[in-house]
Amino acid sequence: MVISAEKAGAIAKYYAETNYKNFSSKNMQMLSNRLYNRGAGGQDYLFGWAEENVGAYTLNRVYVSVNAYTGT
């Protein structure tokens, strides 16, 4: 059974906050939230954030993939 996008998003955000220096103190805006079907390779969610500065996205980006079945 596939976990919900909300649960996967919470897992991804926690991972980013824990492993990416200053993630929480930067103005990181979610750019992508998508479920990918890899066929025999399973399914995974991909979440992406970019830092926003003065109304524009910078090249400072973070992407986290979460297995849709296990949440890892």
Q: Give domain limits for the chain.
A: 5-67
What pLDDT score does 40 carry? 85
Residue-level pLDDT at 50: 98
Band (41; pLDDT cuts 50, 70, 90): confident
| For range 4-22, the mean pLDDT | 97
Mean pLDDT of 27-48: 94
Percent pLDDT > 70 in the chain is 100
For residue 68, CA distances in Å to 8, 47, 48, 64 come to: 7, 12, 16, 12
- % of the chain exceeding 90 in pLDDT: 93
The whole-angstrom separation of Cα 33 and Cα 66 is 11
